[in-house]
A = this chain, B = another copy of it.
Amino acid sequence: MASNFGTLFRISTFGESHGVGVGVIIDGCPPRIALSEQDIQHELDRRRPGQSKIVTPRKEDDRAEILSGVVDGHTLGTPIAIMVRNTDQRPSAYAEMQTAYRPSHADYTYDAKYGIRAVSGGGRASARETIGRVAAGAIARKVLQSLFQGYEAVAYVKTIHTLTASVDPKTVTSGQVESNIVRTADAAMVDPMIELITAMRTEGNSVGGVVECVVRGVPAGLGEPVFDKLEADLAKAMMSLPASKGFEIGSGFAGTLLTGLQHNDDFYMEGERVRTRTNRSGGVQGGISNGEDIVFRVAFKPTATVLQDQKTITNEHEETVLAARGRHDPCVLPRAVPIVEAMVHLVLADHLLRHRGQMGA
């Protein structure tokens, strides 16, 4: 349903931006996985606003509280509920939103659908909804790491606006990504990207870009052949993120410029292991992982909140001008990195459980 994700490793998120809090229930998690609030907090801190000068200055502590499902530092196999209380609420900053629909936000569509909305803070459409995903993703990763040696997902900023980082997915490390506040992995692009974002903040404008992600250590065989193809579930996961407008795996859109002979990934043996010489498939063939790195990209539009006056309409359908005010996040990309990784973990943990349910191992 709307706020559920996954079949066996299944999460339900809840919470508005300006209510009591936001959170998540994870159901179906294997038992006896070591888990602490620190495991979760580490990822929440990577997602947190206010962590650097280039992201939104909202101050959110985002302290994870585990409400259930964990005893003595181990999962019980029963639902794990996690809550993060909201703290930095400034309803006054949002008074104007009550009547004016912000362009390219979800204000109008929520009203069109529900006939009511949590005006303050954007409700469920707020980026705070992703807190539950990140918390759950931290747990999914522990499940995957307990079973797949060398499992890791490394996401990084590939482009911001017209700036493109040169990164080799084969070798990029999370250390490289975390070494800079943009979360890119091309040292030469760090400063230009920071400058661009800073300039955008100054002028009350915003930029988008592309996050690329490589997933290592996934054995061949995960995924499903028809509707729940691994790339289909990854696409859904990524396109469910706020501000995402595109998804591609392996060769993606650029792959349409190759011919079949150029595009095919020939098989060969590397010792005992089946390999492909190239990886235009992006680690998935026919919906099922082939043991190569899974590589995909997600396009995020420029943030819709800008600090300049914009023409719009009110909820009474009168034309009006939305005045610029408040805080804004000139670029969501650096904070999108841990969220993309979280969604990868959630998709793969679910497919892992589904696979061994049917296959037995």
Q: Which of chain B's residues have a CB closer than 8 A to the CB of A118?
A: 71, 76, 78
From A4-12, A44-52, A165-173, A186-194, the one touching the partner chain is A4-12
Q: Are A286 and B79 in contact (CB under 8 A)?
A: no
A15 within 8 A of B: yes
From A55-63, A148-156, A259-267, the one touching the partner chain is A259-267
Q: Which of A117, A125, A225 has the most CB of B within 10 A?
A: A225
A266 touches which one: B32, B269, B310 (CB < 8 A)?
B310
A357 touches which one: B8, B74, B274 (CB < 8 A)?
B8
A253 touches which one: B8, B65, B210 (CB < 8 A)?
B210
CB distance from A304 to the nearest CB of B (A): 6
Inter-chain CA distance A2–B261, complex, in Å, is 30
CB-CB contacts of A223-262 with B at 8 A, as 1s and 0s? Answer: 1111111011111111110101111111111011111111
Inter-chain CA distance A86–B44, complex, in Å, is 26
Q: Which of chain B's residues have a CB closer than 8 A to the CB of A124?
A: 76, 78-79, 225-226
Q: Are A112 and B291 in contact (CB under 8 A)?
A: yes
A: contact size bracket: 35 or more
A181 within 8 A of B: no
- Whether A205 touches B261, Cβ cut-off 8 Å, given contacts A109-B288, A358-B77, is yes
CB distance from A267 to the nearest CB of B (A): 4
CB-CB contacts of A129-167 with B at 8 A, as 1s and 0s? Answer: 100000000000000000100000000000111100000
A225 touches which one: B78, B317, B357 (CB < 8 A)?
B78
Q: Which of chain B's residues have a CB closer than 8 A to the CB of A20?
A: 65-68
Q: Are B25 and A1 in contact (CB under 8 A)?
A: no
Q: Are B224 and A260 in contact (CB under 8 A)?
A: no
Q: Are A205 and B269 in contact (CB under 8 A)?
A: no
Inter-chain CA distance A66–B306, complex, in Å, is 33
A220 touches which one: B16, B108, B223 (CB < 8 A)?
B108
A250 touches which one: B75, B245, B287, B290 (CB < 8 A)?
B245
Inter-chain CA distance A284–B280, complex, in Å, is 30
A64 within 8 A of B: no
- Closest 7 A/B residue pairs (Cβ): A106-B286, A357-B357, A246-B248, A206-B260, A109-B288, A236-B236, A112-B220
Q: Mind listing 12 A-B residue pairs with CB under 8 Å?
A: A4-B27, A7-B7, A8-B8, A12-B25, A15-B81, A161-B257, A232-B237, A245-B249, A246-B253, A263-B302, A269-B317, A269-B319
Given A3-B226, A5-B227, 16 other A-B residues pairs in contact with their CB atoms under 8 A: A1-B7, A12-B12, A14-B67, A78-B123, A78-B124, A106-B285, A205-B261, A207-B256, A232-B236, A246-B248, A246-B252, A253-B253, A253-B299, A260-B302, A260-B304, A361-B361
